Amino acid sequence: MSALKIKKGTSRHSAYDLRDPHAEAPETHTLAVLVDNEAGVLARVIGLFSGRGYNIDSLTVAEVDHTGHTSRITIVTTGTPSIIEQIKAQLGRIVPVHEVHDLTVEGRSVERELALFKVAGEGDKRVEALRLADIFRANVVDSTLGSFVFEITGTPEKVDAFADLMRPLGLVEVARTGVAALSRGAQG
Amino acid sequence: MQKAMTGAKMVVQALKDQGVEVVFGYPGGAVLPIYDEIFQQNEIRHVLVRHEQGAVHAAEGYARATGKPGVCLVTSGPGATNAVTGLTDALMDSIPIVVLTGQVPTFMIGNDAFQEADTVGITRPCTKHNWLVKETERLSDVIHQAFHVATAGRPGPVLVDIPKDVQFASAGYTPKQKARTTHYQPKVKGDLDRITELAELMAKAERPILYTGGGVINSGPAASQLLRELAEETGFPVTSTLMGLGAYPASGKQWLGMLGMHGLYEANLAMHGCDLMINIGARFDDRITGRLQDFSPRSKKAHIDIDPSSINKVIHVDIPIVGDVAHVLEDLLHVWKAQGRKVNREGLAKWWAQIEDWRAVDCLKFEQTGRTIKPQHALARLEALTRDHPDRYICTEVGQHQMWAAQYMGFDAPNRWMTSGGLGTMGYGFPASIGVQMAHPDALVINVAGEASWLMNMQEMGTAVQYRLPVKQFILNNERLGMVRQWQELLHGERYSHSWSEALPDFVKLAEAFGAKGIHCADPDTLDEAIMEMLAYDGPVIFDCLVEKHENCFPMIPSGEPHNKMLLGEASTLDAIGAKGAVLV
């Protein structure tokens, strides 16, 4: 990659804003949204995306504070930089939303996804599936004489790569959780 | 220990604690316990509307004329679904209203019970926030929160859905002061660095303009006062959106008139040619901007708005200031004076000379000739005969008459002009006028209407008569859906598909049937006399003013065109709208 090929939207911490407002290429961002865990809050978030025509690439939600009843929604979305800004501003407007973080621009973050893969096969294919699972550090969580269920954790790209490899080896079904993400370092 | 009471009593108590004086509503099975409590008290007045949509628009009119939240009470199912248009209208125009809906008892929710609807589901996208209250202990707290959310930050409609068993059950009442303070506390103070930056640009500007909107009105009377101070201090020209009329006085020297699709020539050309645009509480709506690529191409733009999502949504601005208009203007004036800033007198003088040239075009001129009343003439006469009334409020429906009212009527104070701006709701004006008159019983309240819009909520005549509300319904009757007709003429080869009515009522008899007064006028010579008769009558009046049927509303920026491509009259309309513009609304 040449030095000038800076990923759009990531230049916030550089001395110069290198983004060209007229050349709006879509970008993928990971947003962490802290909300009150009350009835309908997920519908509000999803309704905002569908009502205004924004994309949801993946979405995960769970209560993260059982005493304060707050949930963390992690949304991976794709849009032009101005659309991404709108999405964040619109999310911030929802009354039960406390905080909106764009993990893609707020410094470095870790993103992980958990997936379960059911792979059926016999003979060499079965052996090869098990070998590849070992390379990917996937665990076997169920096995029969003709099938495995693998559990794998990693970035969405790693999960995609594992899926590509399993497909010719007898992939039956995949279940993915979507992305959970946190910023790196000590700060919350 | 909190005082225990039933949920129904709690509702009434919470409304009293919130200072509510009037509720617009319609009873039904799922709100009967609350209606029973309303019956047993005298502090809160209930206005029985004739349709729930009317209740919400009336509450909107009340809110806009008072600055206080309007309150509605309707039943479950159809009561709630009928309120949806009003909620959407209030959301688009940022009007604070609190709608209380009855719901089937909690144990029946989800069973397709009689008059059940998923009210919070249906109204989620058309409210600022909504709540379904399943426990009586939470009810009073939620109602207090609802008032807070409706009025804090950018105002808007909220809805509280209350199942019938929750209304019957008893629990402790939470008074307003002890209500759970929500984390919802929008920022009102603008960033001082940005404000200082704006002051700097203001001092340099050669061709500045203040582009004001409904946010100035919503911010309260202080904001309008500060806007006037800012205009006075700088000598900058002022224009406004449809929503912001009255914030700066129409009689003020620096007033350019309304801008936008049917705005004034001088206002739109000044927006196009300015070098500094200061947007104060407006939102670059598509009725204002026209073609985005050519919108005010040579200006620096500042945008003051309490809602961060309004900023850079449509137009990229150079100086975004998130905050309440009154707070930001106060700081701006403070910075301006403290730094001893002065405007660029020379540049400004040239700018005003240019504006005077545009003004000289006199884009609103018309000639009242012949035996038919021109709609512009009717409104110019209404304006002349009511302008000096000490306490005048004008509502409108939606369409040509609305634009003419905005063009030909002047407002010198905020909160005196109620019109459906964002949603463009035909049928808004009549119920809104009822809400305004409830708030100001002795004021002159006129609803400027088209006959088609007016018929959409005409059932509210019953309400006006029952509560002796002397609202004046000034109907410009062209027997057409005038704005639709105009677009069909300009865009669809004069094929007037379903844009007229062949079965209009006799409005005088209609008024009489309701027990009100009807006046018919079709003669320009008797118009003044007829208007005076309407004004003199102590009670609701339907004024049927028969006007020119094929009059078009000008000036007009055709869809898809920039501000400097305005049409001033009939001669310029040929092929004015291109294929790209035709798909726009």
Residue A40 has its nearest CB partner, among B120, B308, B309, at: B120
Task: Provide the CB-side half-sphere exposure for A129 (13 A, CA).
Answer: 28
Does an H or E element contain A33, and which?
A: strand A27-36
Q: In this complex, is the C-beta atom of A44 within 8 Å of any C-beta atom belonging to chain B?
A: yes
Contact B307 A98 (CB under 8 A): no
Contacts of A98 in chain B (CB under 8 A): 183
Count how many residues are written for chain B. 585
Peptide bond into B555 cis (omega under 30): yes
Contacts of A89 in chain B (CB under 8 A): 308-309, 311, 313
Contacts of A85 in chain B (CB under 8 A): 312
Residue B447 tokens, joined:
């609803």
B376 has catalytic annotation: no
The nearest CA of chain A is from the CA of B170 a distance in Å of: 23
The nearest CA of chain A is from the CA of B154 a distance in Å of: 10
B337 has catalytic annotation: no
Q: How far is the C-alpha of B496 from the C-alpha of B494, rounded, in Å?
A: 6
Q: How far is the C-alpha of B38 from the C-alpha of B23, rounded, in Å?
A: 10
By 3-state DSSP, what share of chain B in percent is helix, strand and coil, each rounded to 5? Answer: 45, 15, 40
B483 has catalytic annotation: yes
Contact A93 B308 (CB under 8 A): yes
Residue pair B155/B95 in contact (Cβ under 8 Å)? The answer is: yes
Contact A85 B184 (CB under 8 A): no
Residue A102 has pLDDT above 80, yes or no: yes
The active-site residue out of B9, B68, B128, B164 is B164
Contacts of B130 in chain A (CB under 8 A): 40
- Between chain A and chain B, the number of residue pairs with CB atoms below 8 A apart is 37
* CB-neighbour burial class of residue B107 (10 A; exposed 0-12, middle 13-18, buried 19+): exposed
- Contacts within 8 Å (CB) and 24+ apart, B328-332: B328/B189, B328/B190, B328/B195, B328/B304, B329/B223, B329/B226, B329/B227, B329/B229, B329/B230, B329/B280, B329/B304, B330/B222, B330/B226, B331/B189, B331/B190, B331/B192, B331/B195, B332/B195, B332/B198, B332/B199, B332/B230
B514: helix, strand or coil: helix
Whole-model pTM?
0.93
Q: How far is the C-alpha of A33 from the C-alpha of B187, rounded, in Å?
A: 19
Residues 6+ apart with CB under 8 A from B326: B219, B220, B222, B223, B226
The nearest CA of chain A is from the CA of B49 a distance in Å of: 31
Contacts of A42 in chain B (CB under 8 A): none
Q: What's the pLDDT score for residue B573?
A: 67
Q: Pairing relation of β-strands B238-240 and B208-212?
A: parallel
Q: What's the pLDDT score for residue A1?
A: 35
Query: In terms of CA atoms, which chain B residue is nearest residue A88?
Result: B309
Residue B309 has its nearest CB partner, among A51, A90, A95, at: A90
ipTM of this complex prediction, to 2 decimal places: 0.91
The segment(s) of chain A belonging to CATH 3.30.70.260 are: 27-102
Q: How far is the C-alpha of A85 from the C-alpha of A83, rounded, in Å?
A: 5
Contact B121 A98 (CB under 8 A): no
Residue B183 has its nearest CB partner, among A51, A93, A98, at: A98
Contact B309 A44 (CB under 8 A): no
The segment(s) of chain A belonging to CATH 3.30.70.1150 are: 109-183
Residues A37-42, mean pLDDT to the nearest whole number? 94
Residue A168 tokens, joined:
């010719």
Q: What's the pLDDT score for residue B491?
A: 87
Summarised one tens digit per residue, pLDDT across range A5-18 is 444 444 444 444 44
Q: What's the pLDDT score for residue A2?
A: 38
**Which residues of chain B have a Cβ shorter than 8 Å from any chain A Cβ?**
120-121, 124-125, 128-130, 132, 149, 182-184, 307-309, 311-313, 316
Residue A51 has its nearest CB partner, among B125, B132, B311, at: B125
The active-site residue out of B5, B9, B13, B52 is B52
Give start and end residues of each alpha helix (H) in B47-159. 52-66, 78-82, 84-93, 119-123, 136-151
Contact B313 A86 (CB under 8 A): yes
Give start and end residues of each alpha helix (H) in B275-344. 286-289, 325-338
B580 has catalytic annotation: no
| Angle (CA) B468 B471 B475, round 5° | 140
Contacts of A41 in chain B (CB under 8 A): none
Q: How far is the C-alpha of B335 from the C-alpha of B349, rounded, in Å?
A: 24
Query: Which of A82, A93, A95 to mutate: most B Cβ within 10 Å?
Result: A95
Query: In terms of CA atoms, which chain B residue is nearest residue A83?
Result: B313
The active-site residue out of B16, B21, B108, B115 is B115
Q: What's the pLDDT score for residue B183?
A: 83
One pLDDT digit (tens) per residue for chain B, 585 residues: 478 999 999 999 999 999 999 999 999 999 999 999 999 999 999 999 999 999 999 999 999 999 999 999 999 999 999 999 999 999 999 999 999 999 999 999 999 999 999 999 999 999 999 999 999 999 999 999 999 999 999 999 999 999 999 999 999 999 999 988 778 999 999 999 999 999 999 999 999 999 999 999 999 999 999 999 999 999 999 999 999 999 999 999 999 999 999 999 999 999 999 999 999 999 999 999 988 999 999 999 999 999 999 999 999 999 999 999 999 999 999 999 999 999 999 999 999 999 999 999 999 999 999 999 999 999 999 999 999 999 999 999 999 999 999 999 999 999 999 999 999 999 999 999 999 999 999 999 999 999 999 999 999 999 999 999 999 999 999 999 999 999 999 889 999 999 998 999 999 999 999 999 999 999 999 999 999 999 999 999 999 999 999 999 999 998 788 888 899 987 666 566 666 777 777
Contacts of B182 in chain A (CB under 8 A): 95
Contact A95 B184 (CB under 8 A): yes
The active-site residue out of B41, B43, B114, B337 is B114
Strand partners, B72: B24, B99
Residue B555 tokens, joined:
């000036």
Query: Which of B134, B138, B183 to mutate: most A Cβ within 10 Å?
Result: B183
Contacts of A99 in chain B (CB under 8 A): none
Q: Where do we find the tokens 């008569």? A: B465
The nearest CA of chain B is from the CA of A177 a distance in Å of: 26
> What single DSSP character describes residue A136?
T
Q: How many H helices and E strands in chain B?
A: 24, 20
Q: What's the pLDDT score for residue A188?
A: 80
Q: In this complex, is the C-beta atom of A65 within 8 Å of any C-beta atom belonging to chain B?
A: no
Order of strands across the sheet that contains B157-163: B45-48, B22-25, B70-74, B97-103, B157-163, B129-132
Contact B308 A89 (CB under 8 A): yes
Residue B316 has its nearest CB partner, among A21, A90, A94, at: A21
Q: For residue A118, give the nearest of A176, A175, A173 by alpha carbon.
A: A173
Q: In this complex, is the C-beta atom of A80 within 8 Å of any C-beta atom belonging to chain B?
A: no
The nearest CA of chain A is from the CA of B276 a distance in Å of: 20
B108 has catalytic annotation: no
| Angle (CA) B320 B322 B325, round 5° | 110
Domain at A109-183, CATH class: alpha beta
The nearest CA of chain A is from the CA of B210 a distance in Å of: 25
Residue B128 has its nearest CB partner, among A40, A92, A95, at: A95
Identify the CATH assignment for A27-102 out of 3.30.70.260, 3.60.150.10, 3.40.50.410, 1.20.120.530: 3.30.70.260
Contact A89 B309 (CB under 8 A): yes
Residues 6+ apart with CB under 8 A from A170: A119, A120, A121, A125, A126, A129
Q: Where do we find the tokens 């399943």? A: B134
Q: What's the pLDDT score for residue B182?
A: 73
Contacts of B309 in chain A (CB under 8 A): 86, 89-90, 92-93
